[in-house]
Structure 1
Amino acid sequence: MAGISTGIGLASGLDYTSLVGQLMQLEAKPQTLLKARLSETQVDAAAYRAVNTSLSALKSAADKLSDTATWTPVKATSSSDAVTVTTTTGAKPGSLTFTVDSLVATHSVVANGSYGAASDPAGFTRIDVTDSTGTVVGTVSVGGSGTLADAVSAITASPYGLSARTVDVGGELRLEVSSTAAGADGTFSLTAYTPSTIPLGSPTPGPAFAVVTQGTDAQLTVGTGPGKYAVSGTTNTFSDLLPGLTLTATRTGGPVTVDVASDPSAVAAAVQSLVTAANSALSTVRGYGYNGAGSTAALRGDSTLRQLVGDVLGAVASAVGTDDSPAVAGLQLNSKGEVVFAADVFTAALAADPASVRALVDGSTVGGSTVPGVAQRLAAVTAEATDATTGTLTVLALNKDRQASDLQERIDEWDLRLELRQQTLTRQFNAMETALGTLNSQASWLSAQLGQLPSWSSSN
């Protein structure tokens, strides 16, 4: 709204600003009601989306129990802390015994002789590089001023997979060269030549290089009997010695035994996640739809929410086809309408009859017909409510959004209407003040004129 420009009337002494403000409050009552309705509608939309989010989490937990990998989990253990183990999808039970013969090492050499500073002459102008097969693969020429620093730069920049640096040994510098590739294939040897006789014929050998670290592959010897065999690699990590198993060696030694075994506790944890998600969803739905005395819940008494609570509880409590009750797998309801899970009952039942327990939770196919289990029933209930296009909660939230948009348009229209009304009232009061001012001026003039008339006496 535009600001009120009347102020205090000089002629009337009235506070027109206050009068116009009070009148505008009365005029704005319909808009105030619309704003209240808009706020309520927006709260309702947010509430439907909050319920949708909680049911989506339940659907995710239910869908996980339809994944075969959830029902075939394994756990890997190592008999030695020198070897760490992990499993990936597809890992199967098994056992492996081996010895860690060597860890991967990167080949490095150091030049005989030392230097006082990196600016000292390198003592050679070229280096021949021989690879792990004994083949001379190329030559590195030392450019620049022929200093130690120039040699380091030239070796590192060469295309032979080398990295050079200077190391401080007791106050003197040594030239160290390492392979950029780990393992046995990265081994090399260097032959340096001094500059003095190269132009005249056979070059004179420069400083020799001694091995600091011999480049080696990581190697395991699998087994202990006559059929034992070795496996090697350029990292300390080995994959698929057993299906889905990855192991990493951190030191040599052995024998080390790695076992991959079924892990029923992981299945129980997945079911527990389903139960936790179900109770969280029930709590959210009930909270937003609570219709008790004095309730201020955003969606109090909402029939859709009541139906959802019943559907979730029914999905857990009802028998699965002609099979036993879900209680056989440790799933049931308590007196508070919550889902409870007895992990020990589930684990024992899973060990005794894995197929039946999975059928109760994940469903089965009987005579060509699908019999949904608890998880599948919950997935169906939540999918119907949360589908991004047709879900009941999705549609309800979108309807509230449309209502809010319509209300906002009406509120905006009232803004314009009220602004015009305020301008009209302001003009009217200003006109009235002007008229009063004119009347006051005329009265003052008339009074002055009357004061100038002669006085008449009734005496002689």
Structure 2
Amino acid sequence: MATASISSLGIGTGVDLEKMLSTIMTAERAPLTALESKISATNSKISLYGTLNTKLDALRTAADTLAYPSRLSAVKASTSTGAGFTANATFATPVGNHTINVSQLASAQKNVTGTYSANTTFSAGELRFTFGASSAETSVPIEEGATLAQVATSINSANLAVKASVVTINESGEQRLVLSGKDSGGDNSFSLVSTTTTASGGQAALNTFDAGLSTTAKNAQLTFDGIAISSSSNTFSNIVPGLTMTVSATGTGSISIQQDSATITTAAENFVKAFNEVASLIKDNSTYNETTKTGGTLSGDATGRSVMSILGSARTSTPTSLSAAEFKSLSSLGIEIQQNGQLTLNKTKLEAAIAKSPTEVTNTLGAYGRQFSSAVTDMQSGNGIVSSRTDSLKGALTRFTANKETLELRLTQIEKRYRAQFTALDKYVTSMQTTSAYLTQQLSSLSSS
């Protein structure tokens, strides 16, 4: 008696065992489906915390701008048309107008030798340099037969406060040696004594200089509101606190130092914007949607609430350095909180405070900037609440992924077992049906005989 071959579940029984197996496996996969939902939700949270970190970085950057008064220069310096100088002011520079008369630019000493033919070589000796007011000499040896270029190389190799170069002055190849002081200013002059002499063998002495082409080292000289001031370079620093001038020509001009609220206002705007972006991200992802009956990614997540609590404390807690300050709060500078948790900037209020005392404004913004920057840094540090929460989520994702792999393997084995059992059932029923048909045929034959 032949046994029927089963090509598809249910052929023998007439029951859709394939559909039954699918229904059973759907039920068996319920834990896997729940686990996949957890993995998806965890990935969403990790991604959201990455975005939160980026926005916290922006907030810390904005706070750092407030923290340093040098970045909040509340004054600007402008010069008169055609003035032979430029000027820059910092937050510490007093407001006012000044008259400047530049009488002399700073220069470095320059000595130019007489003219030598292209093939000139020099006798042995030394070049003895003395720099500034020092009496100490520094000697540069000159070898017998050295060319002008080799002399320049020897000087430069000695790393002195003078630089040597050779200038070819015509098509015949005649040359001059130029010695230039590396630094300008009267205290950076140098003197030179040469021990080379004219030798009988035709070697030249390097000891003649062209006074008409040589220049002395000088300080820059100017008067600032009639007060004579000198500088070894063409840059004058802190003539008044925070004011730097660079002169490029002699002559008379003026500097106007005025209040400049634009830098402070822009920094405050950037801070408000960065704060609001953090607040909006947390709020938008913490709300419950009544229509879909679903919560945001951060619903029930205490870390988001903690971030806003810490930022709120940084905003409302008066820094100790402001105990005697004229402006003790951000709201006194126009940075005010709204009912929706967002900050807003009252520019009129801020500009009025700047007009009253720019130094006090920068001090207050600096104190709060440092306070916010420290708060954000702590949250993002290794043990901070944001970093710890992110690490926790990543750890959970690793466990969920491992559990998923284990569960998928188990489900594969379960389905294999069910399929084997259903196949055996199908074969058994088919066999019984075949036996029944055979017996029925035999009984029919006996009855007819």
Q: What TM-score bracket applies, with the shorter chain setting the length?
A: 0.5 to 0.7
In 2, are the aligned partners of 1:123 and 1:206 still within 8 Å (CA)? yes
Q: Does 1:344 align with 2:337?
A: no
Mind listing any 5+ residue stretches in structure 2 that lack a counterpart? 9-17, 319-326, 425-449
- After TM superposition, the structure 1 = structure 2 runs for residues 135-284 of structure 1, keeping only pairs within 5 Å, are 137=137, 139-143=139-143, 145-158=145-158, 160-171=160-171, 172-174=173-175, 175-184=177-186, 185-189=188-192, 191=194, 193-196=196-199, 206=206, 208-211=208-211, 212-223=213-224, 225=226, 228-233=227-232, 235-254=233-252, 256-284=253-281
Change (3 A) 1:60 1:280: same
Counterparts of 1:176 and 1:150, CA distance in 2: 13
Deviations 1:196-244 (A, max 9, x none): 159xxxx98556222535243332333464xx323221x2222222122
Counting aligned pairs with the same residue, the percent is 19
User: What pairs up with 1:310-389 in 2 under 5 angstroms?
Assistant: 330-331=334-335, 339-348=343-352, 351=355, 379=372, 386=379, 388=381
Q: SS state of the match for residue 240, structure 2? A: coil
Relative distance call for 1:84 and 1:103 in structure 2 (3 A) is same
- 1:126–1:419: structure 2 CA closer, same or farther, 3 Å change rule? farther
Q: CA deviation at 1:41?
A: 0.7
Secondary structure of the corresponding residue to residue 146 of structure 2 = coil
Q: Is the 8 A contact 1:316 1:326 kept in 2?
A: no
Aligned residue for 1:449? none
In 2 relative to 1, CA 46–136 (structure 1 residues): closer, same or farther, beyond 3 Å? closer
SS at match of 2:285: helix
Contact 2:353 2:361 (C-alpha < 8 Å) held by counterparts: yes
- CA distance in 2: counterparts of 1:105 and 1:266, whole angstroms: 36
The corresponding residue for 2:46 is: 45
Measured in 2, the distance between the counterparts of 1:342 and 1:166 equals: 65
Aligned to 2:445: none
Compute the displacement of 1:143 (Å): 2.0
Counterpart secondary structure, 1:196: coil
**Which residue of structure 1 aligns with residue 435 of structure 2?**
none
Query: Match of 2:108?
Result: 106
Looking at structure 2, the residues matched to 381 and 123 of structure 1 have their Cα atoms a distance apart, in angstroms, of 68
Give the distance between the partners of 2:362 and 2:191, measured in 1 at CA.
59
- Taking a change above 3 Å as real, the CA distance of residues 302 and 251 of structure 1, as seen in their structure-2 partners, is farther
Between the aligned partners of 1:133 and 1:384, the Cα distance in structure 2 is 53
Report the alpha carbon displacement of residue 276 of structure 1 after superposing the two structures with TM: 1.5
Count of aligned pairs: 386
Q: 1:8-30 CA distances to partner (integer Å, 9 max, x unpaired)?
A: xxxx8989xxx9xx99xx69956
Query: How much has 1:299 moved relative to structure 2?
Result: 1.0
Contact 1:46–1:397 (CA under 8 A) maintained in structure 2 = no
**Is there any run of 5+ residues in structure 1 with no aligned partner, and where?**
1-11, 364-372, 433-460
Q: What code does the residue aligned with 2:128 have?
A: V
CA-based RMSD of the aligned residues comes to 5.4
- TM-score, normalised to structure 2, is 0.63
- Cα distance 1:244–1:295, how it changes in 2: closer, same or farther (>3 A)? farther
Cα deviation code 1:385-413 (max 9, x no counterpart)? 93647765455434323322321332454
